[in-house]
Amino acid sequence: MKLSKLFRWRKNQKPEEAPSPKAKAARPSKRPSPSAKPAQSAQTGGQKVDKPGAFNAKIGSADYRLEPFTEGGICVVMKGIPKTPGHPKLAIKLVREQWLNHAAVRRQFSNESQIVRELNHPHLPKYRARGLVDGKAYYAYEFIDGVPLINLSQDKTRFPPELVKDISRDIVGQLLLQLEHIHGGLKPVAHGDISSENILINNRQQIYLVDFGCAHFIKQAHKESYQWLAKPSFISPEQARGDAWDNRSDLYQVGILYYELLMNKRWNIGRSKRDKVLFAASNDRQNDDFLKNVVDLETSAIIAKLLDPSPRNRFQSATEALQALGMK
């Protein structure tokens, strides 16, 4: 099954029911924060340009125009448009003003840029540079022209109903292949914050996992595992309990994503952050057939296994999950 069917289908919907992914991508999902503005100062060496909050700066060896793009919980992302041809568009990530005083956030941001530097996969954004703008640390990586999956899942006419199962499986398969890459190799990384906000889908139906803001090198001894940076709706039981977490926590989050794609509703039904953490920490094992009304029994059992509260009872690797899905 090709996701192109999804995009053809969405194109044929009435515009007010299904805004095109492109139109959504062009609109920042949140208003740019004021923290993006101070970077206009002369220290950047950049001059002010028309768009509010936009400025010029050298990123790596090339000149860029930086425009406020969007923001997450901790960071601001700016879009870097090259001023000379032959350079890629960039996403430039900076810590939001209000978090700059937190030593742990600054440490993790530096950790994040080191992790992104190590990524080398056709479907993970490539690292380009890091440095300072207006005295604030940034790192820059390839800009992905796409929309966060959450924009699709909040859409009433999200997926053509007859294709939901195929589309969900395809997205989960692509994600598992990316996880297989980051979990393996010489410097295995656990992502820790897989969610429908941190996965972008482009109009070639390719998904890209972004936001390594919660990630850590699995082999590195670390005192803090930064689970408090993970999205509460997607937090794994071990993250919720404050225990050590590894690649199997990512597989739990894949289970949540699979569930939410199929059901178009939230897995974690907690209302406040506290309730969400409690929900994640105390959930029982689902019966293998818990999704029997939606998918075949085999797929239901695979999702139950991804969502097993105990990491030991889950798939132990993305490869195992891909094999169970018949994708390897």
The residues binding ligand ADP (CB under 6 A) are: 70, 72-75, 77, 91, 93, 125, 141-144, 148, 197-198, 200, 210-211, 213
Query: Of 198 and 239, which has the nearer Cβ to ligand ADP?
Result: 198
What span, in angstroms and rounded, lies between the C-alpha atoms of 125 and 209? 8
Q: Which does 148 bind (CB under 5 to 8 A by kind): Mg ion, ligand ADP, none?
A: ligand ADP
Q: Which does 199 bind (CB under 5 to 8 A by kind): Mg ion, ligand ADP, none?
A: none
Q: How far is the CB of 304 from ligand ADP (least distance, A)?
A: 28
Q: The sheet that has 147-148: what strands, in order across it?
A: 147-148, 199-201, 207-209
CA nearest neighbour of 231 among 193, 269, 286, 179: 193
What span, in angstroms and rounded, lies between the C-alpha atoms of 109 and 131? 12
**DSSP assignment of 115-132, as one string?**
HHHH---TTSPPEEEEEE
Contact 51, 35 (CB under 8 A): no
Contact 194, 175 (CB under 8 A): yes
Q: Which does 184 bind (CB under 5 to 8 A by kind): Mg ion, ligand ADP, none?
A: none
Q: How far is the CB of 75 from Mg ion (least distance, A)?
A: 7
CA 223 to chain CA centroid, Å, is 24
Q: How far is the CB of 233 from ligand ADP (least distance, A)?
A: 13
Binding site for Mg ion (CB under 5 A): 72, 198, 211
Q: How far is the CB of 83 from Mg ion (least distance, A)?
A: 28
| CA dihedral (263, 267, 271, 272) positive or negative | negative
Q: Which does 143 bind (CB under 5 to 8 A by kind): Mg ion, ligand ADP, none?
A: ligand ADP
Q: Which does 91 bind (CB under 5 to 8 A by kind): ligand ADP, Mg ion, none?
A: ligand ADP
In this structure, what are the phi and psi dihedrals at residue 124, rounded to the nearest 5 degrees?
-125, 135
Query: Of 208 and 315, which has the nearer Cβ to ligand ADP?
Result: 208
Q: Which residue is nearest to ligand ADP (CB)?
A: 72
Contact 48, 55 (CB under 8 A): yes
Q: How far is the CB of 90 from ligand ADP (least distance, A)?
A: 8
Q: Which does 238 bind (CB under 5 to 8 A by kind): Mg ion, ligand ADP, none?
A: none
What span, in angstroms and rounded, lies between the C-alpha atoms of 153 and 195? 12
Query: Of 116 and 322, which has the nearer Cβ to Mg ion?
Result: 116
| DSSP 3-state of 79 | strand
Q: How far is the CB of 73 from Mg ion (least distance, A)?
A: 6
